[in-house]
Amino acid sequence: MSLVQQCYGWFHKQTQDALLSVLAAGPIPKHVAFVMDGNRRYARRKHAPVQQGHSEGFVALRRMLEICLKLGIKCVTAYAFAIDNFKRSPEEVDALMNLAEDKLQELCQHGSLLHEYGVRLNVIGKKELLPERVQAAARKAEEMTRYNDRAILNLCMPYASRDEITTAVERTINDALNEDRSPESISEKDIDDHLMTTAAGSPPLDILIRTSGVKRLSDFLLWQCCEDTQIQFATTYWPDFGLLDFIPIILDFQRKVWSQSR
């Protein structure tokens, strides 16, 4: 690395840290979720293989996770792989599974970002659909970070909100039957308590961000998106998403918090 590159890297880090310090002086969300959309279109725009788009998407996740942690955000949830994504070509699915296995191993290594910031990793979804090697990597990553207690990273893979809600309702009913409770005693809170995100210790969702300009939720955190959740659609493709895209979203959140407190 040349001296010019080193100087640029230092200046970029100092500038970013200064911006984050200013932002952190205001109200900060506890829980932010990302629909990481646009990896394939990003790759096509670059005339690169689709796998490169997904790989650079992971780099973006690491970048945004660090930004969130520096801001003091306690929980980040990322839509890494939808159950419906298994319908893609076998080649793309296999490449995504290879990437998931590799990055899960990388995430939990000693000295990694998760250990540096005390982040506990939860892999959320219908994990039995994953290849055994990816399930093993997920179990190991969760085990190696289980005692980290400063922040949470939820990786949703393979996930669908309808599946999460259905599973929560089934478990709620089974618990009620086992406890000999009447159907009338089942409450919204009972179902909420059985959601995968709740079981993982996640606070209520403050902000949901979808990148790439597409304006739909795609079966992601439908129950968690309540009247207090701020939903933001960014036009930037996920691999390009960074601090400059994130700042207006945080400022908007802060404006709404301040206006509600008046």
Catalytic residue annotation: 37, 85
Give the helix/strand (H/E) hosting 151. strand 151-156
> Helix or strand or coil: residue 155?
strand
C-beta neighbour count of 227 within 10 angstroms:
4
Q: DSSP letters along 69-132, please?
A: HHHT--EEEEE--BGGGGGS-HHHHHHHHHHHHHHHHHHTSTTSHHHHTTEEEEEES-GGGS-H
Residue 247 · residue 23 · CB < 8 Å:
yes
Distance (Å, whole) CA 94 – CA 128: 16
